[in-house]
A and B are shown apart, each in its own frame.
Chain A
Amino acid sequence: MNLVAEVVIRKNNLKSLSHILTLVKKDLLLEIRQQYSFYGILLYIGATIFVLFVTMNEPETKVWNGLFWVVQLFICINAVAKSFLQESKGRILYFYSIVNPRDFVLAKLLFNSLFMLLMSLLSLFLFTLFMGNPIQKAGQFIGLVLLGGWGLSLIFTFLAAIAAKAQQNAAIMAILGFPIIIPQLLLLSKLSNSVFSFSTSIALPTVLLILALNILVIFLATILFPFLWKD
């Protein structure tokens, strides 16, 4: 009896895993077929950083740090907003009939995380290229950028789901998201202050705290999304 139950559970887990992977693959395919949105974001990153480059030359490290995280925030809103807004009503209904909402939201979170990680790395490269490079510990800063991009993408993916359900544009995402993201941005910019000199070391408890916050967001998203989804 136990064995049968275990097999069923394992089968279900495998099934939902394959569902998630299929959904991620579908998003990836869409991204490849409709390349205009991908290039749109690339252009957004390039243009934003270029505007900063033109309006200020070689900012000091504190300003550099602040600007970098604010730019990350705006890139994230633009990159993630479309994930739910692009889905038409008919398509949502179709997904509703074939997949579990939990798998659906996990797939979106996974895809947006990967997408945002890529965009973060790209914007870091452009930022150091145009705005000067004050970073002393490159490896640690890259790690922080990935961690920060991941956290931002998780929160804004869920808020994009809310905004899409409310049939609103990306502006309401910013209103809903800014107060929630403030502590995380503060933590990140505090942490990244330590990579500008060799004398200070990175605070590991803070890194773990951000990780814990991210896990909390995933947890909340999987619990709350099923309510959002049914009409």
Chain B
Amino acid sequence: MSEPKNYMYKSWWKILSGVLLLYTFAAGILLSVPRLPQLQETIRNLYFHVCMWFAMMVLFTISFINAIKYLRSNKLIYDIKSRQYAVVGIILGLLGYLTGIIWMSYTWADPNNPAYASFNSIAREPKLIGAAIALLVYFAYLVLRDSIQDIDKKARISAVYNIFAFAMLFPSIWILPRLLPSLHPGAEGNPALNFNDISPTMRLVFYPAVIGWSLLGVWIATLKIRIKMIKEKIIL
């Protein structure tokens, strides 16, 4: 290990993450929310569903930065980081889908039809397609990694793909919503960041929640990185 005491071993941001998440759960469930006809109390899911996607993008961005760092320095530690952040990002993306499914089943799904029948109309949602592209890209990244035996070669090729895919991913996330008709709120850009989208009281919970979930994701990733570092002590 070249850098002995970096952010991974500091505890203040882990405590901050715990405090923010406790606050998210307490305030998110207790504070009053505007009652919209379609949403009612399900709007509280905003503190969980949207935060998952934010945290996912944060982790993918960190993975991308570590891929660049790897290509610049050829240090395997950056490759390990890049991979672990991508894996945790994928998990958060899947959780984002899961919370989305719960929310959708109360608001979008037609109660007279079985969920299976309404799936293909709901799946054509640009936000869902964008998220699916992101997850497919990172699944492909993992498949590509595992298909190469040589450690240095694996690190270099997967870093190249990571950078290429990430750079192509962002334009697509901006382009897609403008192409397809959408039921999803915030079709013109980033949902919940727009000032007309959410009420001031909700913003009091939403911003801390985003930071809390992102920090939790980083925390999980650093734990995985540290385990990996112990396992790979010989090559590092």
Contact = CB atoms under 8 A, between A and B. Distances in A.
Interface of A: 155, 158, 162, 165-168, 172, 175-176, 178-180, 182-183, 186-187, 190, 209, 213, 216-217, 220, 224, 227-228, 231
Contacts, number: 78
A224 B157 contact: no
B160 A228 contact: yes
14 contacts: A162-B164, A166-B144, A166-B148, A168-B147, A172-B143, A176-B144, A176-B165, A182-B129, A183-B171, A183-B175, A187-B179, A217-B168, A220-B164, A227-B160
B199 interface: no
A190 B153 contact: no
Interface residues of B, number: 30
Contacts of B133: 179-180, 182-183
B158 to A, nearest CB: 9
Contact of B157 (A162, A213, A216): A162
Given A166-B148, A186-B179, A209-B175, A180 B153 contact: no
Nearest to B134: A179
B144 A172 contact: yes
A158 B167 CA distance: 14
Of all A-B residue pairs in the complex, the 3 with the closest CB atoms, nearest first, are: A183-B172, A179-B136, A179-B137
Interface of B: 71, 129, 132-134, 136-137, 140, 143-144, 147-148, 153, 156-157, 159-161, 163-165, 167-169, 171-172, 175-176, 179-180
Nearest to B152: A231
A127 B156 CA distance: 41
Contacts of B172: 180, 182-183
Residue from the set B136, B164, B176, B180 with the largest chain A CB neighbour count within 10 Å? B164
A178 B136 contact: yes
B175 A224 contact: no
A231 B168 CA distance: 26
A190 B163 CA distance: 28
Contacts of B176: 183, 186
A231 B148 CA distance: 14
Contacts of A217: 168
A137 B161 CA distance: 38
Contacts of A227: 71, 156, 159-160
Given A183-B175, A209-B175, A176 B163 contact: no
A231 B153 contact: yes
Given A166-B153, A179-B137, A190-B179, 13 more contacts: A165-B157, A166-B157, A168-B147, A175-B140, A176-B140, A176-B161, A179-B132, A180-B164, A180-B169, A182-B133, A182-B172, A187-B175, A187-B179
